[in-house]
Structure 1
């Protein structure tokens, strides 16, 4: 995570077919992985459950295999988890963000000289 008082990058990937993957969907994947529930993940992110479900449906549609796997209630109580592809995508996206920040550190610092928060 980047400090709020310094400029940083926010990477959004334009996918074939018109879909997009960026920080919001990555945060949703992180919360699902941590909490094991789409409802709890949505709540933690301050997002409605229908909005979170729509984002998961978009992600599952945009990739060859679903990123999030969900099961209905029952004796196990249901829940959501990341597929292997979802885990790998999340890891690769984080690496991309970290490398981009590191590579552009000097330029970001220059931009920071012009901001009000310096």
Structure 2
């Protein structure tokens, strides 16, 4: 195993104690893919209410919303990722990638200290 096998999960503390991390970024990506908050939530095993609260929190953190919704039922309603939402995903990914690169040596050292052949136990 090498440091490349270890993954960094970055959380950024925003003003007001709001955190931007991989979970919220994954939710934004899921909304982009499914064009729906409820479908995005289902795809992540999350309740609609939890997804809506997380998106609402992000929408209030930035100058412009990250997700815009429209009502209208099955054929006309939905949710779209805004330009701000795309930018937040891109900025988060760039920051995570920079951190991963910056601590590459430490990740290699951690990987070399891990058990080489973990034992599987029945519990």
TM-score (norm 1): 0.87
Higher Cα Rg, which structure:
2
Q: Distance in 1 between matches of 2:8 and 2:74?
A: 44
**Could you give the per-residue CA deviations for residues 21-71 of structure 1, whole angstroms, max 9, x where no partner exists?**
101000000101111111111011111111101111111111111111011
For residues 117 and 37 of structure 1, do their structure 2 counterparts lie closer, same or farther at Cα, with a shift above 3 Å needed?
Answer: farther
What is the alpha-carbon root mean square deviation over aligned residues? Answer: 1.8
The structure richer in helix per residue is 2
Unaligned runs of 5+ in 1: none
Which residue pairs with 2:80 in the alignment? 81
Match of 2:22 in 1: 23
Flag structure 2 segments of 5+ consecutive residues without an equivalent: 118-123
Which residue does 2:101 correspond to in 1?
102
TM-score (norm 2): 0.84
Q: Which runs of 4+ in 1 moved over 3 A?
A: none
Determine the C-alpha separation between the residues in 2 that align with 1:97 and 1:37.
26
Report if the CA contact (8 A) 1:67-1:86 is conserved.
Answer: yes
SS in 1 for 2:15: coil
Distance 1:75 1:112 in 2: 48
**Paired residues, what number?**
114
Structure-2 separation of matches of 1:71 and 1:100 = 37
